[in-house]
Structure 1
Amino acid sequence: MIVGYLRVSSDQQSNDSQRMSIDERFKIERWYQDNSTSGLTKGSERKGLGELLEFVRDGDTVVVYAIDRLGRNTIDVLETVEVLNKKNVALISLREGFDLTTDHGKLLLTMLAGLAELERKNIYARQMAGIKNAREKGKLLGRRKSIDDQSVRDWRVCNNASIRETAEHFGISISSVKRSCSLKK
């Protein structure tokens, strides 16, 4: 059986292009996917990939658009590949253009997974440098505050309300009320 696996990291992404690319070359008999799932989430903890790994049998082939769909951590990708190998399941990655059942494919997989992990760490380092730079320039980071702390405090005092009543009145969480009321006036 030929099985397809798709993964996107966020709600803003679609797996349509991955599916279309795979459909152009393979007749997939069964699809598995994980949506809004980071590559940082261990493969065994992802619902779709976990179900795929339980389902596949000796002689099956798993097709992915790119090896980074299995994960961005070298060890996790290699563990997933090892599970497939132990079940005698072939793995094909379209973007990289290799079949991981061969020795050359396994070598290439190890190198590519290492590069993917290195790139993820580089992206994170650039992100942290950008945040540090923005803070040094005095830029406000994060989402704009949607709660007027003073209004929350004043309403709670005027109405002798509990934290829960205040949260319900403003349509905010209990922790937001606690945070607003703990701030200095």
Structure 2
Amino acid sequence: MAVVGYIRKGQIKLKQQRLAIESNMPVCKWFQEKSGADSAKVFDKLIKYLWAEDTVAVFDLGDLGQSVEEVEKRLRKFCKKRLSVYWHNQGLQLSSDSLQGVLAALDVMRSLPSHASQQRSDFPSVHKLLTFPEPKPGRRRKVDYQAVAVWRAQHCASIASTAQEFGISAATVKRACRANLVLSQTGT
């Protein structure tokens, strides 16, 4: 069960990627892509080198390709060979079964209907699709948004009466309803 590194020229220099991965995982062999032109050649060498249950260490999962489709295709090859992936940027070790889950999530993201004004080319980048959002700082909510939205929907209440019922502002009621897709049932 060897650990093989795969790095690709991007926003972070190759040497920095290599050092970051090696700080957490001992790598026995490195494959590095220096330009988009040698991408397929380097990846084919990587696939031929690997055996079942080996681990591919990458700095970021998006580094496996230049598009969502290319990353997906490469992850499917990893699954066929029963490989695992060490995703340094998130600190995750993904088994081939976990990779199936990532692929399923990509399939769902692709199948979602796009907004009428949004072009297909506006599909989120691989990096945005495959990173977990940072928790947003800020004050904790005084009230459960879902409870506000449900109460308003059940009672067909106006924004003002809902605000009065919960002791919150009208703006908070609007945010709660917008977050739970109950915008306006009474026309107010």
**Is residue 2:125 matched to residue 1:119?**
yes
Aligned match of 1:137: none
Aligned to 2:28: 29
* Paired residue type of 2:3: I
- Percent pairwise identity: 23
Q: Distance in 1 between matches of 2:17 and 2:103?
A: 19
Letter of the aligned partner of 1:27 in structure 2?
A: P
Does the 8 Å contact 2:68/2:125 carry over to 1?
no
Instruction: Provide the aligned C-alpha RMSD in A.
Output: 3.2
Evaluate the alpha carbon distance shift between residue 110 and residue 67 of structure 1 in structure 2; reply closer, same or farther with a 3 A threshold: farther
**Alpha carbons 1:2, 1:29 under 8 Å: kept:** yes
Structure 1 residue 64 and structure 2 residue 58: aligned?
yes
Query: Is this contact kept in 2: 1:59–1:89, CA < 8 A?
Result: yes
Q: Distance in 1 between matches of 2:96 and 2:80?
A: 14
- The offset of 1:52, in angstroms, is 0.3
Aligned residue pairs: how many? Answer: 114
Q: 1:110 to 1:7 in 2, by over 3 A?
A: farther
Alignment counterpart, residue 72 of structure 2, candidates 71, 78, 93: 78
Cα gap change, 1:47 to 1:104, in 2 (>3 Å) = closer
Residues 117 and 107 (structure 1 numbering): CA distance in 2 closer, same or farther, change over 3 Å? farther
TM-score, normalised by the number of residues in structure 1: 0.51
Show structure 2 runs of 5+ residues with no match: 111-121, 129-188
Contact 1:78 1:110 in 2 (8 A): no
Alignment counterpart, residue 94 of structure 1, candidates 83, 88, 104: 88
Q: Matched residue of 2:124: which SS?
A: helix
Q: CA 1:110–1:52 in structure 2 vs 1: closer, same or farther (change >3 Å)?
A: same
